[in-house]
Amino acid sequence: MKLNYKIIFHFLGLLILFNGGFMLLSSLMSLVYKDGVTFQLFLAGIVTLIVGVLAMVFTRRHKKEMNKREGYIVVAFGWLIMALSGTLPYMFTESITSFTDAFFETISGYTTTGASILNDIEAVPKGVLFWRSLTHWIGGMGIIVLAIAILPLLGIGGMQLFAAEAPGPSADKLHPRITDTAKRLWLIYFGYTAAETLLLSVAGMSFFDAINHALCTLSTGGFSTKNASVAHWNGEPIIQYIIIFFMFLAGTNFVLSYFAFKGKVQKIIKDEEFKLYFKFITIFTIIAAIIIYFITDVSASSVCHPMVWGEAESAIRHALFQVVAIITTTGFVTADYTMWTPFLVVFFFGLMFLGGSAGSTSGGVKVVRHLILIKNGFLEFKRALHPNAILPVRYNKKAVSGGIVFNVLGFFILYMLSFIIGSLVFSMLGIDFESAIGLAASSLGNVGPALGDFGPVNNYANLPSFGKWWCSFLMLIGRLELFTVLVLFTPFFWRNR
């Protein structure tokens, strides 16, 4: 079957239209704060809108059918098109003059990685900072999911796109129609963002800081409006606790949030992935807090005001914040955890491979995959003793098909191979071992802060140009869970059948 190129370009044009609309929103923020770049942001938005309109007009006569191959192409190239057009606000305002740097910052935004090349974030115009945060928010739930919510207007079914956007083992649906599912997800997403903005404002943040941090928290992104990230508010613990709470929600399957609002609490309590996610955070926080309290001097690794309510509270808060930030791949920091003993450095490096829940805005491997791997591993012991027994892996009391188990195993192998190859490429650029493995793990897991020269208090500005492009590639395949992008590099994908 030949590819329907017209529908692909038509849909890419629609995505570019969305991008242009959000750029105009950034220009409005720039106008409100009179930061001097309103016209440039407005121009970037208009140029983007024109390109999107032209793409849609020239492809308006297309077959309104989309198969799975076309879905994968739209998702993968959609992210690239969004990132390429998303560089315009940086370039037009000259906030970032290098195209490589502008693309890196943009793809880091859309993939919700949060790695930055900006040395002085607070000097950047507010309209540009708002655009930077919006790239997180758009990429968090996925611009593709937003777009399929309006696909009925185009007469196109969106199931193929949803499958490509969320290829994980979980296939939860809130509604039989996929577009209604997307609308419900986005309504919850928007509601959480508005709630966090309000709470942070009441807690003492300015409205501008509050809305930006809410956008970046719910997307599990990690961009901040301050050079010191959330450590800027170390003197105001309530702000950090609010962010912790919403990071936790963002790393939870949004389907469970829907069940919570419908009063179906039992579904949440019985969900195996949620229980393991909660246990991971609890156990890892206790371990980190004990070490911080008895061994580490938090004041030596914190930017400002490390202890407010006592040493014990400070140790628990910093441990909880960093554990949640890394597991959910948000990447906010309250202190330089690479100074918290060698054990904790390796500890937090390991957490970069965990990830949040399936159906959340988190990156990483995802808790449900770890759960299936662990269960299958234990069953292998039983199978060794009882080779003729039928022992299926069970998840939420239901047997998991062998296909899904093989998919999870294949994903994990591919993920580790990508990490190893990623680390080797960085080492070829002359980057030291600790920094190389940190860059690979952080980029692939969409975490943000890494290790060594690219740790929590540093940025990616000094990374060689090729290294930034390699990081961008790892961010993209990590965000789209490997298969969606890597399948495009297989020869059989492009064969007409």
Q: Is the pLDDT of residue 172 over 80?
A: no
Instruction: Say if CB 233 and CB 129 are below 8 A apart.
Output: no
Please, which residues have CB within 8 angstroms of residue 277's CB and are 6 or more apart in sequence? 251, 252, 327, 356, 357, 367
CA 13/CA 478 separation, integer angstroms:
24
Question: What pLDDT, on the 0 to 100 scale, is given for residue 497?
Answer: 62
CA geometry: angle at 374 spanning 368 and 377, to 5°?
140
Closest CA to 326 of 288, 375, 377, 368: 288
Q: What is the DSSP string of 379-392?
A: HHHHHHH-TTS---
Question: What pLDDT, on the 0 to 100 scale, is given for residue 162?
Answer: 56
Question: What pLDDT, on the 0 to 100 scale, is given for residue 338?
Answer: 87
DSSP letter at 395 equals E
pLDDT band at 1 (very low <50, low <70, confident <90, very high): low
**Residues 176-181: what's their mean pLDDT?**
70
**Residues 422-447: what's their mean pLDDT?**
95
CA 188/CA 254 separation, integer angstroms:
8
Least confident of 138-152, 199-213, 435-449: 138-152
**Extended strands (E) in 305-457:** 394-395, 398-399
Question: What pLDDT, on the 0 to 100 scale, is given for residue 158?
Answer: 53
Whole-number average pLDDT of the chain? 88
For 20, 144, 478, the CA distances from 81, given in Å and listed in that order, are 12, 12, 17
Percent of the chain predicted with pLDDT > 90: 59
More confidently predicted of 136 and 5: 136
CA 494 to the chain's CA centroid: 29
Question: What pLDDT, on the 0 to 100 scale, is given for residue 168?
Answer: 53
pLDDT band at 296 (very low <50, low <70, confident <90, very high): confident
For 66, 67, 494, 496, the CA distances from 1, given in Å and listed in that order, are 11, 9, 10, 5
Question: What pLDDT, on the 0 to 100 scale, is given for residue 312?
Answer: 85
Model confidence over 8-34: pLDDT tens digits?
Answer: 898 899 999 999 999 999 999 999 999
What residue type is 271 in one-letter code?
D
Model confidence over 71-103: pLDDT tens digits?
Answer: 888 888 999 999 999 999 999 999 999 999 999
pLDDT band at 297 (very low <50, low <70, confident <90, very high): low
pLDDT band at 181 (very low <50, low <70, confident <90, very high): confident
Q: Is the pLDDT of residue 153 over 70?
A: no
DSSP letter at 394 equals E
Buried b (16+ CB within 10 A) or exposed e, 205-241: beebbbbbbbbbbbbbbbbbbebbbbbbbbeebebbe
More confidently predicted of 186 and 65: 186
